[in-house]
């Protein structure tokens, strides 16, 4: 595929990912990872480490996207910073540890994990399946355990964790708009610790393309970072105006299509 088409593909999907990160609180990584897999495979870059580069680059992009998104939510007074303080330590530990483990897992195995996770999240979002809110947020120990699990899974999939942290907070009686905003704030420590972890775990790996710093592909990161930072605040603003429930169904269908494409590549 010509380089110009690859570039414009990154531009288009980067814009979509940034807007969705702010709008739905699910993290643009659910879009960025399959797009990066398509980009790297089409450009014949990455060899046996395509999925590692896709996930690491996604988390690096989310460092900037999450920061931009959380600023927009914070200005609206929607972030519960007490929850952020309670969950951030487990998020950081879980994400960094997970990124080190992921570096030892074959690329196709990480792809299978992404496919299964994407189908599960697509079904959850399409049918609006969520636990009934019937309890308060747990204490520090409970938050540490829950956030650690969220961090590990996020590091395997390359997302900001919103598809897990939003349902968790909703289950604990946190209003949905506050849960989305707080999830955006939690996405930043996930992104930072995950990006650092993938940079470290891939630092001495041979066969990576020019422009890669560990498992972070810098040229694609720079392109996607600019677009997602520009579009995330627009998504956060739209979250207070648009019918989010209907948009989630459309996003769920998009996720199912992307997961199916990745599954087809694994079965070839």
Q: What angle do CA 131, 133, 137 make, to 5 degrees?
A: 110
Predicted local distance difference test score (pLDDT) of residue 1 = 54
Task: Tell me the torsion sign for CA atoms 184, 257, 199, 153.
Answer: positive
Average model confidence (pLDDT) for the chain? 87
Structure tokens at 152: 């590990």
Predicted local distance difference test score (pLDDT) of residue 216 = 96
Predicted local distance difference test score (pLDDT) of residue 117 = 93
Length of the chain as a residue count: 268
Judge whether residue 245 has pLDDT over 80: no
Judge whether residue 250 has pLDDT over 80: no
The C-alpha atoms of residue 156 and residue 136 are separated, in whole angstroms, by 28
This prediction's pTM: 0.89
The C-alpha atoms of residue 81 and residue 173 are separated, in whole angstroms, by 16
Per-residue pLDDT of 123-162, as tens digits, reads: 988 888 777 777 888 988 999 999 999 999 999 999 878 7
The C-alpha atoms of residue 94 and residue 119 are separated, in whole angstroms, by 23
DSSP label at 216? E
267 by DSSP, 3-state: which? helix
Structure tokens at 56: 């690491």
Predicted local distance difference test score (pLDDT) of residue 21 = 66
Structure tokens at 55: 């996930």
Average pLDDT of the segment spanning 42-50: 89
Predicted local distance difference test score (pLDDT) of residue 82 = 93
Judge whether residue 233 has pLDDT over 80: no
Judge whether residue 57 has pLDDT over 90: yes
- The pLDDT-based confidence of 31 (bands split at 50, 70, 90) is confident
Task: From 36, 41, 38, 65, select the one nearest 53 (Cα to Cα).
Answer: 36
């Amino acid at each position: 595929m010509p380089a110009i088409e690859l570039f414009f593909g990154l531009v288009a999907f980067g814009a979509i990912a940034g807007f969705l990160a702010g709008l739905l609180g699910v993290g643009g990584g659910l879009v960025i990872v399959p797009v990066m897999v398509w980009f790297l495979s089409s450009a014949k870059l990455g060899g046996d480490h395509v999925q590692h580069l896709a996930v690491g680059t996604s988390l690096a992009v989310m460092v900037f996207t999450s920061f931009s998104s959380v600023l927009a939510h914070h200005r609206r007074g929607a972030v519960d910073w007490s929850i952020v303080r309670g969950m951030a330590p487990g998020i950081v530990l879980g994400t960094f540890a997970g990124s080190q483990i992921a570096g030892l897992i074959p690329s196709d195995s990480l792809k299978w994990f992404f496919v299964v996770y994407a189908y599960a999240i697509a079904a959850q979002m399409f049918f609006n399946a969520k636990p009934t809110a019937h309890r308060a947020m747990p204490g520090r120990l409970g938050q540490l355990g829950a956030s650690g699990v969220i961090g590990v899974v996020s590091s395997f999939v390359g997302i900001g964790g919103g598809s897990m942290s939003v349902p968790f907070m909703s289950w604990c009686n946190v209003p949905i708009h506050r849960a989305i905003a707080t999830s955006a704030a939690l996405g930043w420590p996930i992104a930072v610790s995950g990006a650092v972890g993938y940079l470290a775990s891939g630092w001495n790996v041979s066969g990576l393309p020019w422009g890669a710093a560990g498992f972070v592909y810098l040229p694609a990161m720079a392109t996607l970072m600019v677009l997602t930072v520009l579009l995330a605040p627009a998504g956060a603003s739209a979250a207070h105006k648009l019918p989010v429930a209907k948009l989630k169904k459309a996003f769920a269908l998009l996720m199912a299509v992307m997961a199916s494409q990745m599954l087809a590549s694994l079965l070839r």
